[in-house]
Each structure stands twice: as C-alpha cells, then as structure tokens.
Amino acid sequence: KAGVTQTPRYLIKTRGQQVTLSCSPISGHRSVSWYQQTPGQGLQFLFEYFSETQRNKGNFPGRFSGRQFSNSRSEMNVSTLELGDSALYLCASSLVPGSNEKLFFGSGTQLSVL
Amino acid sequence: GQNIDQPTEMTATEGAIVQINCTYQTSGFNGLFWYQQHAGEAPTFLSYNVLDGLEEKGRFSSFLSRSKGYSYLLLKELQMKDSASYLCAVYNAGNMLTFGGGTRLMVKP
C-alpha cells in the first residue's frame, strides 16, 4: 500500500510568486491535513479537509489556501510568497477526521523562497 | 491559546532509559499523540493517550495525566537508531491538532 505522496519534493521560488503543492493520501484515506514545519516554530497546523470540505483552519494569512478533490487528493496554494514562507510543508492523511485517528505523513515539500 | 512545551534537546547513552516530558495548556483535551521524526524524514506515529495512565508498546511507553496537563514518553534500551526528534501533539476541544516544538534526542555510544 503506497504511503502519502507529496510533490514536488523541493521547490525554489522568488518573493511575490505563487506556488501549488500537491498531496495524494493513502488509498482509502479521506481526511487530509497540512502543516508547516520550520526549525523555530515546529509543526504548525494549516488546514484540514474531509470530503472536499475544509473542516479546520489554522492561524495563517489568507495567502495560504487549499482544496480537496473528489478522489481525496489535496492541493495547497501560497500566493505572493514571502521569505518567511520558506519551510517544509507536510501533508498527512487519515481514514476519517477524528481525535483518535493517527496521522500518516508524507515526506514533505521543501520550499525555499529567495 | 494553545501551549505545548517540551525540552528542545536531550542526550542519552545507548542502552539507557530516557524520559521526554511534555506539558500542555489547551482549550479542551481530546487526546495526545507522540510522533517520531528522523532528520529529513516524515513524522511517524508512536503512541496515543486519551485516558490517564501508561500505555506500553515494546521499548516505548507513554504516560498521561490529564489533571496535570502532562505526558511523558519513555524509551528503554536505547539504540542508536532512536536518535530523532520526538513530537508531542494534543487534540483540543475544537479537534485541532497542535504540536509542540519537538525534542531532539541524541543517543551516544
């Protein structure tokens, strides 16, 4: 059974550009959540999707957005990139949302903003 | 707000026992997770606690005290491969998972 797949693995952008990251969950998993990981802040929750609906959103500006498709694949978009957006973006999936559901993480997309 | 505290770094010796503490202050509580993350890799699930007490799984155990807002992860018979970051995460009443900053554990021979 394939794990959570994130593409691309590495990305270099310049300030002001926009970027789209992709996440394919484990087959059968319908819940996808996104996290930003930086050395100083640790993992910070971005948003969670289930059945194409955003269930929860973290404390990030509106430049960060996401969506989920009918096949449970998810994308996140960051517009007007800033230097501080440089981070590892992790996607995680679970069968359904729920406080007792363990998350399966992808290897992440390392975004560098120059 | 949500606040989860863990030590930034710990060092231990191969074969020893180490305890990684996590204290939390969150708006409600719906469960606590521990994840392991090796450098450059994805976090992987270690344990889940929702009731007070100790959950044992092989060399790893996790303890929870909800009244104290406290958990620890206990690693026994340390191996070099246990060198990694250990992440404590809490589900709050709004079903949002908040992670602590992680504890980087270095195991020395």
DSSP character string of A14-72: -TT--EEEEEEPPTT--EEEEEEEETTTEEEEEEEEETTEEEEE-S--TTEEEEE-TTS
> Exposed/middle/buried for A4, CB within 10 Å: 0-12, 13-18, 19+?
buried
Are A99 and B95 in contact (CB < 8 Å)?
Answer: yes
Beta-carbon separation of A43 and B48 below 8 A: no
Token reading at A28: 């059968």
pLDDT, position A83 = 97
Residues B41-46, mean pLDDT to the nearest whole number: 94
Cis preceding linkage at B43, omega within 30: no
Q: How confident is the model at residue B7 (pLDDT cuts 50, 70, 90)?
A: very high
- Taking CA–CA distances from A42, the nearest residue in chain B reads B101
Is the pLDDT at B92 greater than 90? The verdict is no
Residue that wins the pLDDT comparison between B35 and A39: B35
pLDDT of residue A33: 96
> Which uninterrupted H or E stretch holds B65?
strand B60-65
For residue B69, what pLDDT is reported?
96
CA-based nearest distance B98→chain A, Å: 7
Q: What percent of chain A has pLDDT over 70?
A: 99
Least Cα distance to A1 among A99, A104, A109 occurs for A104
Hey, is the C-beta of A60 within 8 angstroms of any chain B C-beta?
A: no
Give me chain A's average pLDDT, please.
Answer: 94
SS3 B82: helix
> Is a pLDDT exceeding 80 seen at residue A1?
no
Q: Closest to B96 (Cβ–Cβ): which among A45, A105, A107?
A: A45
Residue A87's pLDDT is what?
A: 96
Write the pLDDT tens digit of every residue in A60-87: 999 999 999 999 999 999 999 999 999 9
pLDDT value, residue A81:
97
Distance CA B17, CA B5 (A): 21
> Quick check: B95 and A103 CB within 8 A?
no
